[in-house]
């Protein structure tokens, strides 16, 4: 692994999945995780309602103890939600579930990426719902500059053998954040010097800018169709709410996502 793989010649970087997050995080000052269907969309819905969200890689035998440790409710799988345990990875379900002050949200993709920073740098949860808010916040905090580079990580999905499946919705979500960051920096003369997008980051931003109908794209892409055909069309609808949220969930010290100051 060389610096060229880490995109260290550029102040805004882009890559895919937990492995890339683990590799890029040590050379970054902030990490943005994008998992549109549905981890980071669910995080925005919960955090904007006032819930502290604790990411957890798997809903395994250790998850209940982790939730107890933080006096938090534990989210279940979409199909396992019940009136007694109504919180799940479904953003639509989270909207109608009773308020909980603390929620452990397991996700093998988004949560695993969130953990990659090891609590050493801020991790920001971004989706299409809050992409511009995240880009503007990054610029305002001075991230995406040579002195404070940022790594934007698209979560992707998994093939049945466990390998990474790049997912269009995450490419577009990441591209929306990168595009908003670049636009905000362009409007701030003191932040222009030396700021560059890696070719990977620039390509993601270009893909977003040239997508004419985000809602149709998210609805008809592979991941969107999978959820719709599985009986969760509302989750796709929520995920496609472009810039509906001003909330910027930030994970600090590896604990919980809470609204940025």
Q: Given this model, what pLDDT does residue 191 score? A: 59
Contact 13, 3 (CB under 8 A): no
Q: Given this model, what pLDDT does residue 49 score? A: 97
Nearest to 47 by CA among 127, 115, 120, 118: 127
- Mean per-residue pLDDT of the chain: 94
Contact 104, 257 (CB under 8 A): no
* Domain coverage including residue 124: 3-259
pLDDT tens, position by position, 65-82 = 999 999 999 998 888 888
Q: Is the bond leading into 38 cis (omega within 30 degrees of zero)?
A: yes
Q: Given this model, what pLDDT does residue 77 score? A: 86
Q: Given this model, what pLDDT does residue 192 score? A: 60
Per the structure, the count of domains in the chain is: 1
Positions of the chain with pLDDT under 50:
none
Cα 15 from Cα 6, distance rounded (Å):
9
- Phi and psi at residue 104, to the nearest 5°: -90, 125
Provide the CATH number for the domain around residue 235: 3.90.1560.10
Q: How is residue 88 written in tokens?
A: 């799940």
């Amino acid at each position: 692994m060389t610096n060229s793989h880490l995109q260290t010649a550029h102040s805004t970087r882009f890559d895919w999945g937990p492995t890339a997050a683990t590799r890029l995080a040590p050379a970054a000052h902030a990490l943005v995780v994008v998992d549109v269907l549905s981890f980071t969309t669910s995080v925005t819905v919960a955090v904007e309602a006032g819930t502290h969200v604790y990411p957890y890689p798997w809903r395994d035998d250790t998850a209940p103890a982790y939730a107890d440790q933080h006096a938090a409710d534990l989210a279940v799988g979409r199909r396992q939600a019940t009136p007694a345990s109504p919180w799940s990875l479904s953003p639509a379900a989270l909207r109608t579930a009773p308020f909980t002050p603390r929620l452990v949200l397991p996700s093998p993709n988004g949560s695993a990426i969130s953990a990659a920073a090891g609590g050493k740098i801020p991790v920001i949860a971004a989706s299409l719902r809050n992409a511009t808010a995240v880009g503007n916040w990054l610029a305002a905090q001075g991230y995406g500059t040579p002195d404070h580079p940022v790594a934007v990580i698209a979560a992707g999905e998994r093939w049945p053998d466990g390998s990474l499946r790049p997912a269009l919705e995450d490419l577009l979500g990441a591209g929306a954040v990168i595009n908003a960051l670049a636009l905000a920096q362009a409007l701030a003369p003191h932040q222009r010097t030396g700021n560059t997008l890696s070719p990977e980051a620039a390509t993601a931003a270009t893909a977003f800018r040239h997508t004419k109908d985000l809602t149709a794209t998210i609805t008809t892409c592979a991941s969107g169709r999978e959820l719709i055909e599985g009986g969760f069309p509302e989750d796709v609808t929520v995920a496609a709410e472009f810039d509906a949220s001003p909330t910027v969930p930030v994970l600090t010290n590896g604990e919980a996502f809470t609204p940025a100051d």
